[in-house]
């Protein structure tokens, strides 16, 4: 049987502490404002024990979200593909009032309130979804690996923000010619980098990380570099290779060799800054460097490659992701219809 002991709580007010001890089970202790609440809780726990479905809530009811985030950052984040990005999401969660709440007390309505607050702050739907994905994974890890089997994942109980339709900006008219002319006038590496991005669909970070040792001229392939620094304990990624077109090889052949072995001297931020200046000089509006990846993926489809072949080049893991990066023009498909 459970026992109920009156205690002095904060401010000297009376609270009730419920104690449950059963052979073969860990002792359960919890404090409530009223005796009725303590009795109701004890009845639930004793019923679960009697039915053989009891799962200890002790750790889940003693760990705050902030403490769980610290453990997640130390144990789980280092194994992720982009740990630095996830560390940023952890810091954002820890700055929220919700971080002071006990894990077992966080409900779906708390997550729904968080979503509304982030929307009011002008945060984009995709950013909110990424933040929720981290929290959802934390609850799943806590439940499956940290001995908190009683936890319910509150993120799974709410509707996620709907993602906006993907950007459909492509080069139109004479924009490519104007862009490259302005890039050549700007000087440096930005002109061949733009051409390389359109030809290979590579991201700016991956482009910046390219090294000559990864180029196999005979096989016409490039080992895709990982822009992340390798850290002790992090699994080494499986090498991936990009097939190189004749135009891509010509771009590489025209480049001077650098003593440090890097193909390009420009860093990702420098590429973005130079690209923005080139677009301004060319009178082109609404175009980002990442849009060149959209352009490249669409052109691969227009050349007749199928979805799996394009994904092998662009590196997209799912066809749904690839679809968001691909914008085929009707006029370019007319010839295939006969």
pLDDT in tens, 191-227: 999 999 999 989 898 899 899 999 998 899 998 876 5
Give the number of C-alpha atoms closer than 13 A to the C-alpha of residue 279, restricted to the C-beta side: 16
Query: Model confidence at 61, in pLDDT bands (50, 70, 90)?
Result: low
283: left (phi over 0), alpha (psi -120 to 50) or beta: left
Q: Which residue has the higher pLDDT, 334 or 195?
A: 195
d(CA 71, CA 142): 10
> Does residue 167 form part of some domain?
no
Average pLDDT over residues 235-261: 85
Contact 7, 16 (CB under 8 A): yes
Residues 42 and 129 in one domain: no
Across the range 259-287, mean pLDDT stands at 93
**Is 70 exceeded by the pLDDT of residue 119?**
yes
Q: What is the pLDDT of residue 114?
A: 92
Residues 18-42: tens digit of each pLDDT: 787 877 666 777 677 888 888 887 7
**Per-residue model confidence as pLDDT tens digits over 293-323:** 888 888 888 887 777 878 777 776 666 666 6
**80 Cβ contact list (under 8 Å, min separation 6):** 86
Do 220 and 251 fall within a single domain? yes
pTM, two decimals, is: 0.57
Range of the domain at 43: 3-51
Q: Is the pLDDT of residue 129 over 80?
A: yes
Cα→Cα distances 77→86, 111, 276, Å: 7, 22, 33
pLDDT over threshold 60, residue 331: no
**Residue 17, helix vs strand vs coil:** strand
Say yes or no: 189 and 71 in one domain.
no
Domain boundary residue among 104, 130, 157?
157
Q: Give residue 2's pLDDT.
A: 81
Query: When comparing pLDDT for 333 and 101, which is higher?
Result: 101
Answer yes or no: do 190 and 315 share one domain: yes
Closest to 198 in 3D by CA, of 272, 253, 251: 251
Is 232 inside a domain boundary?
no
Sequence-ordered strand ranges (E) for 10-150:
14-20, 28-32
Which of 126, 157, 188 is the last residue before a domain boundary? 157
What is the token pair recorded at 313?
Answer: 């080049």
Nearest C-alpha neighbor of 57 from the set 102, 12, 3, 8: 102
What is the average pLDDT across 255-269?
Answer: 91
- In this structure, the answer to whether residues 140 and 112 fall within a common structural domain is yes
The mean of the pLDDT values for the chain is 83
Q: What is the CATH number of the domain that holds 104?
A: 1.10.150
Q: What is the number of alpha carbons within 13 Å of residue 227 lying toward its C-beta?
A: 12
The percent of residues in the chain predicted with pLDDT above 70, rounded, is 82
Q: What is the mean pLDDT of residues 64-82?
A: 85
- pLDDT at residue number 327: 58
8 A C-beta contact, residue 37 and residue 16? yes
Strand, helix or coil at 168?
coil
Domain identity same for 328 and 185: yes
Q: Take residue 140 and report the two structure tokens written for it.
A: 């799943």
The reply to whether 74 and 152 lie within a common domain is yes
Same domain? 193 vs 325: yes
Q: What is the pLDDT of residues 3-14, one digit of tens each?
A: 888 887 777 788
Question: Rounded mean pLDDT of 234-247?
Answer: 78
| pLDDT of amino acid 252 | 93
Same domain (yes/no): 180, 328 = yes
The answer to whether residue 58 is domain-embedded is no
Look at residues 97, 125, 157 and tell me which one is the last residue of a structural domain.
157
Catalytic machinery residues: 203, 231, 290, 293, 316, 325
pLDDT at 37: 83
Give the chain's domain count.
Answer: 3
Residues 214 and 296 grouped into a single domain: yes
Any domain includes 338: no
For the chain, the first-to-last Cα distance in angstroms comes to 82
Q: Which of 62-66, 83-87, 140-144, 254-258 has the lowest mean pLDDT?
A: 83-87
Mean pLDDT on 112-141 = 91
Q: 173-177, 197-201, 230-234 — which is least confidently predicted?
A: 230-234
Q: Are residues 97 and 181 in the same domain?
A: no
- Taking the CA atoms of residue 263, residue 310, residue 169 and residue 195 in that order, the dihedral angle to the nearest 10 degrees is 30
Residue 114 placed within a domain = yes
Please tell me the least confidently modeled range out of 106-120, 207-221, 319-333.
319-333
CATH of the domain at 223: 1.10.443.10
In this predicted structure, the answer to whether residue 165 has a pLDDT above a threshold of 70 is: no
Shared domain check, 180 and 283: yes
Q: Is residue 59 part of a domain?
A: no
Per-residue confidence (pLDDT) for residue 84, from 0 to 100: 74
Evaluate whether residue 35 is within a structural domain: yes
Residue 148: predicted pLDDT: 79
Within-domain flag for 162: no
Looking at per-residue pLDDT, the higher value among 334 and 312 belongs to 312
């Amino acid at each position: 049987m459970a026992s109920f002991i009156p205690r002095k709580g904060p401010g000297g007010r009376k609270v009730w502490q419920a104690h449950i001890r059963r052979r073969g089970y860990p002792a359960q202790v919890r404090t409530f404002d009223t005796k009725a609440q303590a009795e109701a809780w004890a009845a639930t726990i004793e019923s679960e024990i009697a039915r053989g479905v009891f799962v200890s809530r002790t750790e889940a009811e003693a760990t705050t979200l902030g403490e769980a985030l610290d453990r997640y950052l130390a144990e789980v984040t280092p194994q992720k593909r982009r740990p630095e990005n996830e560390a940023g999401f952890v810091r954002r969660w820890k700055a929220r009032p919700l971080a002071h709440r006990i894990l077992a007390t966080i409900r779906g309505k708390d997550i729904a309130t968080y979503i509304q607050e982030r929307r009011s702050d002008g945060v984009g739907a995709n950013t909110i979804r990424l933040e929720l994905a981290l929290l959802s994974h934390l609850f799943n890890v806590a439940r499956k690996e940290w001995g908190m089997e009683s936890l319910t994942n509150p993120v799974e109980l709410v509707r996620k923000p709907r993602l906006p339709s993907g950007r459909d900006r492509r080069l139109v008219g004479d924009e490519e010619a104007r862009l490259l002319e302005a890039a050549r006038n700007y000087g440096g590496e930005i002109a061949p980098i733009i051409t390389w991005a359109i030809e290979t669909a590579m991201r700016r970070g991956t482009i910046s990380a390219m090294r000559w040792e990864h180029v196999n001229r005979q096989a016409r392939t490039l080992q895709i570099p990982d822009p992340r620094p390798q850290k002790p304990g992090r699994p080494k990624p499986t090498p991936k290779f990009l097939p190189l077109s004749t135009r891509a090889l010509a771009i590489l052949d025209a480049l001077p060799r650098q003593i440090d072995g890097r193909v390009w001297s420009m860093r990702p931020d420098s590429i973005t800054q130079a690209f923005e200046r080139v677009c301004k000089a060319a009178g082109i509006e609404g175009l980002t460097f990442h849009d060149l990846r959209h352009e490249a993926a669409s052109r691969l489809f227009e050349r007749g490659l199928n979805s799996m072949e394009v994904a092998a080049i662009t590196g997209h893991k799912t066809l749904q992701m690839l679809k968001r990066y691909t914008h085929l023009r009707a006029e370019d498909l007319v010839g295939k219809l006969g």
